[in-house]
Amino acid sequence: MAKSGVALRGRSLVGLILAAFVLIATAIVWRRTIGINQSEQLAALDAKRVNLESERARLDAEIRDASSRQNLGTAVERRLRMHVPTDKQVVILPRVRPDEAP
Amino acid sequence: MKRPSRTSIVHWFFVLFAVTLVARAAKVQVVEGKQWSARATRQHFFASSLAAPRGEILDASGNTLVESREMTRVAVALPEVRDTAFVIKALHRARVDADALHSAIARRRRWIDLPGVYSTADVASISKLNGIHLTPVLQRVYANSTGIKRIIGSVDGQGNPLDGLELALDTLLRGDSGKVRLARDRDGRALDSPDGWTDHPKQGATVVLTINHALQDICERELAIAVDSLRADGGDVVVMNPHTGEILAMASNRVGRSAFANTAVTEPFEPGSTLKPFVAASLLERGRARPTDVVNTHNGQLELDGRVINDMHKATALSLADVIRYSSNVGIVEFGQRLTPRQKYETFRDLGFGMPLGVPLPAESGGTLRDPRQWSKQSSASILMGYEIAVTPLQLVTAYAAIANGGELLEPHLVKEVRSANGKTIYRAEPRVVRRVMSFDVARTVQQMLLAVVQEGTATKADLATFDVAGKSGTARRTSQNIGYTAGNYTASFVGLFPGNDPQYVVLVKLDSPKGGHYAGGDIAAPVTQIVLRAALAARDAALNREDLAASEKQATTQSPKGDASITNKLALRTANEGPRTNPESYDPNGNISRRDVADAPKPYVVDLPAAPRPAPIAVTPRPVPDVRGLSVREAVRALHNAGFRVRLLTAASSGTSPAAGTIAAPGTIVQLVRPLE
């Protein structure tokens, strides 16, 4: 009886070790799978960031060009019939010093 | 001997197999372990270089002139492509130019780099196709301004600098590339790995130029209009701050040539009469003449060394001041005989002519100034009239800046500041005096002469109603290749100091070979200067100190009638042969310049403001960027605004400001406030 019990404990131990091995291996694979997925997500987000940065630079450049004097100057002169003011039409207001303020 | 049983043989066979297996495993793991480990690492991991973004180039106000952005280049490995038709369709759908692919297939090429660069989003749909290889590349995004591009230069498709500041300052701008160790997945695609490492690239330094973008735009636009209207071959406009040597604008235009060189520093020209003030300064400095000294001007015609020198404004006698005012060739030659050839040469050499100024632009020309030993008989007179000497527009502006600032020749500079990637200032340009070329008193005297040129002389068309402008016009004959001087081929130029009594700008306008009846500098270059100045006055930020400008405004009571008629009247007092200006009409770029008459004189403005005056004046001196760490975004923006800075919000991994806290910056500078990613 005792002999049979020892044999059973041995097989159980081997079974337990195998089960633990499978569990640990599964956990490692699972962790690596999660890691790789997250890495892919990070890479995708990084690519998105790069793309957005690139888009920002392009839009910034377009805004700069669109608001440049060369573009706006021509447009306002043709469409709105505006012109560069003469120096007489530009008034420079002197700053009021605190002691001169009323 | 007992023969082993068959069971024993099988048993020993397994034992031997097991021992062999263990031995082989031990060899692989222990003896060859490092070698196999290295091989596995090579298979699973690879190092990829990370290109460093080139540094930004900003204008003086902090506006971006050029920056880098990451784009993608597409290549196709044809042997890896399973379905060529499908790949071509996918490339078309992604708007990738696949025309080159057809010819590559026809020529049975194995690898084809498709032309152009694309954003990552555009090519995301084709990134997983077999045979498609995407490579990130950094592309430079430039301000869409021809003049700025001429200054900044360009880089090729591989990011190598080709010309301009990109080439001259490459060591600063290019940064240090980095490396990253990535893992490969089963398909060979790159993956970030916990076992990997990253040696981050260091972005290139940010270069802040002295160029004012608004003023540059003004100069380019007015120059383009003038060149077009006058059917000139081209022209240059340069604006400099005479007190610091900062180049505020540098515009060039060449018709029919896709020139990318900055001709304001690469193409010297014979300056003509714009050199006369320096002859006058030399005479005054050496005590060889006084402004009131009078010489015989031979009724505007002088025969000397086998040639005849003519004046446009004919007079029998003129003082030195009037020689400058009416740009008398005969007068300056008569006065110039009081100087030895060596003294003339030294005068121009000391002003920086004949040698490069050292601005960080490739192919800068030093101009031509020959040693007196190489002069001909006529050279001594020619050089006084601005011939047989060639200067670049920038050299001429730098020399005039010496008159404007009281006699000091300053080193011109184009780079105001260099900041490292972390915002730390590693270089800041300071005004550097090369030498004193004339005394303060002589500079002021010459400045008064130049005021008279615009008020009553040859360049009245540069004058403004509310500010004095000083300056000198020049009209020089141009040579054609292998022919020499040709009829009707002139360089018209004008160099102005604005405001005339306390200059903040030195402006040079030069027009090459204008066609039609108008070619005199005072008639066509001076009005362009006037237009540039008026546009600068109207611009929000054109590097003008308006507080000082307000103090320089003309008083209405001091206005006097001006115009070409007054020149003729004054000359009539001195001349036997009265010679009115031959060219009363002037270039009218915007159709709204009219000759000023007495009734048009400006009246003083009285403005009643409904709002209470500001409690305290705003200081305009440079100040440190405040430390906003720990503040909310709203509080940080408020603190920066209160300190006089403009704010641009950015989001990044780490927070901070650029320029960094404590950096001294001018009010109005754009401070990039980086808030952390949420």
Q: Is B495 within 8 Å of B275 (Cβ atoms)? A: no
CA nearest to B616, candidates A58, A68, A85, A100: A100
Using an 8 Å CB-CB cutoff, list chain B residues near A70.
145, 217, 220-221
Tens digit of each residue's pLDDT (9 = 90 or more) over B231-266: 999 999 999 999 999 999 999 988 876 557 788 999
| pLDDT of amino acid B356 | 92
| pLDDT of amino acid A102 | 58
Dihedral pair phi/psi, residue B426, rounded to 5°? -105, -10
| CB-closest option in A60, A83, A84 to B64 | A60
List b or e across B76-98, with b for residues whose CB sees 16 or more CB atoms inside 10 angstroms: bebeebeeeeebbebbeebebeb
pLDDT at B455 over 80: yes
Q: Residues of chain A with pLDDT > 70: what percent? A: 84
Length of chain A measured in residues: 102
Half-sphere exposure of A10 (CA within 13 A, CB side): 6
Tens digit of each residue's pLDDT (9 = 90 or more) over B273-301: 999 999 999 999 999 999 999 999 999 89
| pLDDT of amino acid B81 | 83
CA nearest to B403, candidates B275, B554, B578, B534: B275
Stretch 60-79 of chain A: residues touching chain B, C-beta under 8 Å: 60-61, 64-65, 68-70, 73
Residue of B nearest to A68 (CA): B217
Using an 8 Å CB-CB cutoff, list chain A residues near B534.
84-87, 90
**Residue A98 contacts B where some CB pair is shorter than 8 Å:** yes
Write the Ramachandran bin of B619: left for phi over 0, alpha for psi from -120 to 50, otherwise beta.
beta
Amino acid at B23: A
Tens digit of each residue's pLDDT (9 = 90 or more) over B372-385: 999 998 899 999 99
CA nearest to B383, candidates B399, B396, B394, B368: B368
Write the Ramachandran bin of B116: left for phi over 0, alpha for psi from -120 to 50, otherwise beta.
left
* Contacts for B44 with CB less than 8 Å, ≥ 6 apart: B183, B184
Nearest-angstrom CA–CA distance, B222 and B535:
9
Q: Is B540 within 8 Å of B453 (Cβ atoms)? A: no
Nearest-angstrom CA–CA distance, B111 and B116:
16
pLDDT at B106 over 80: no
Tens digit of each residue's pLDDT (9 = 90 or more) over B123-137: 878 887 888 888 888
pLDDT at B593 over 60: no
CA distance to partner chain A, nearest, from residue B170 (Å):
21
Q: Is B627 within 8 Å of B661 (Cβ atoms)? A: yes
pLDDT at B608 over 60: no
| pLDDT of amino acid B22 | 94
CA distance to partner chain B, nearest, from residue A38 (Å):
9
Q: Which residue has the higher pLDDT, A39 or B343?
A: B343
Question: What residues pair up with B304 in beta bridges, in sequence order?
Answer: B307
To which H or E segment does residue B106 belong?
helix B99-106
For B4, counting Cβ atoms within 10 Å of its Cβ (0-12 exposed, 13-18 middle, 19+ buried), the class is exposed
In whole angstroms, how far apart are CA B447 and each of B182, B322, B377, B527?
Answer: 68, 13, 32, 20
CA distance to partner chain B, nearest, from residue A1 (Å):
31
Q: Is B242 within 8 Å of B503 (Cβ atoms)? A: yes
B133-147, B154-168, B355-369: least confidently modelled range = B133-147
Q: Residues of chain B with pLDDT > 70: what percent? A: 88
Tens digit of each residue's pLDDT (9 = 90 or more) over B251-260: 998 887 655 7
| pLDDT of amino acid A64 | 82
How many Cβ atoms sit within 10 Å of the Cβ of residue A70? Answer: 17
Nearest-angstrom CA–CA distance, B206 and B659:
10
| pLDDT of amino acid B136 | 81
Positive or negative, the CA dihedral B651, B652, B654, B660 is negative
Nearest-angstrom CA–CA distance, B298 and B74:
76
Averaged pLDDT for residues B393-397: 96
List b or e across B276-292, with b for residues whose CB sees 16 or more CB atoms inside 10 angstroms: bbbbbbbbbbeebbebe
| pLDDT of amino acid A93 | 79
Which pair of structure tokens corresponds to residue B64? 């971006």
Q: Is B546 within 8 Å of B528 (Cβ atoms)? A: no
Most A-contacting residue of B63, B466, B532, B595 (CB-CB within 10 A), to test interface: B466
**Integer distance in angstroms from the first to the last C-alpha of chain A?**
114
- What DSSP assignment string belongs to B52-102? PPPPPEE-TTS-EEEEEEEEEEEEEEGGG-S-HHHHHHHHHHTT---HHHH
Q: Residues of chain B with pLDDT > 90: what percent? A: 44
| pLDDT of amino acid B628 | 84
In whole angstroms, how far apart are CA B436 and each of B275, B439, B440, B445?
Answer: 18, 7, 9, 16
Residue of A nearest to B139 (CA): A54
Which pair of structure tokens corresponds to residue B295? 């010489």
pLDDT band, residue A14 (cuts 50/70/90): confident
Nearest-angstrom CA–CA distance, B165 and B55:
12
Q: Which residue has the higher pLDDT, B386 or B129?
A: B386
Averaged pLDDT for residues A50-76: 84
Q: Is B85 within 8 Å of B136 (Cβ atoms)? A: no
For B671, counting Cβ atoms within 10 Å of its Cβ (0-12 exposed, 13-18 middle, 19+ buried), the class is buried
B9-18, B25-34, B537-546, B622-631: least confidently modelled range = B622-631
**Residue A91 contacts B where some CB pair is shorter than 8 Å:** yes
Which pair of structure tokens corresponds to residue B354? 């004949």
Amino acid at B340: T
Using an 8 Å CB-CB cutoff, list chain A residues near B71.
54
In whole angstroms, how far apart are CA A66 and each of A14, B150, B241, B437?
Answer: 76, 20, 28, 45
Q: Mean pLDDT, chain B, as a whole number?
A: 83
Nearest-angstrom CA–CA distance, B642 and B620:
13
CA nearest to B601, candidates B557, B649, B551, B644: B557
| ipTM of the complex, rounded to two decimals | 0.70
Q: Is B593 within 8 Å of A88 (Cβ atoms)? A: no
| pLDDT of amino acid A6 | 53
| pLDDT of amino acid A63 | 87
Nearest-angstrom CA–CA distance, B136 and B177:
14
pLDDT band, residue B371 (cuts 50/70/90): very high
Write the Ramachandran bin of A17: left for phi over 0, alpha for psi from -120 to 50, otherwise beta.
alpha
pLDDT band, residue B143 (cuts 50/70/90): confident
Task: State how beta strands B178-184 and B161-163 pair.
Answer: unpaired
Averaged pLDDT for residues B401-421: 94
Q: Would you call B69 and A57 a contact, using CB atoms and an 8 Å cutoff?
A: yes
pLDDT band, residue A88 (cuts 50/70/90): confident
Most B-contacting residue of A36, A40, A62, A92 (CB-CB within 10 A), to test interface: A92
| pLDDT of amino acid A42 | 84
pLDDT band, residue A100 (cuts 50/70/90): low
Averaged pLDDT for residues A50-55: 85
pLDDT band, residue B41 (cuts 50/70/90): confident
- Number of CB pairs, chain A paired with chain B, less than 8 A apart: 119
CA nearest to B400, candidates B328, B332, B500, B496: B496
Residue keyed to tokens 């730390």: B424
pLDDT at B480 over 50: yes
The three-state secondary structure class of B397 is helix
Residue keyed to tokens 């023969």: B3
Residue keyed to tokens 């340069």: B238
Q: Is B277 within 8 Å of B403 (Cβ atoms)? A: yes
| pLDDT of amino acid B366 | 92
**Integer distance in angstroms from the first to the last C-alpha of chain B?**
85
Nearest-angstrom CA–CA distance, B531 and B462:
8
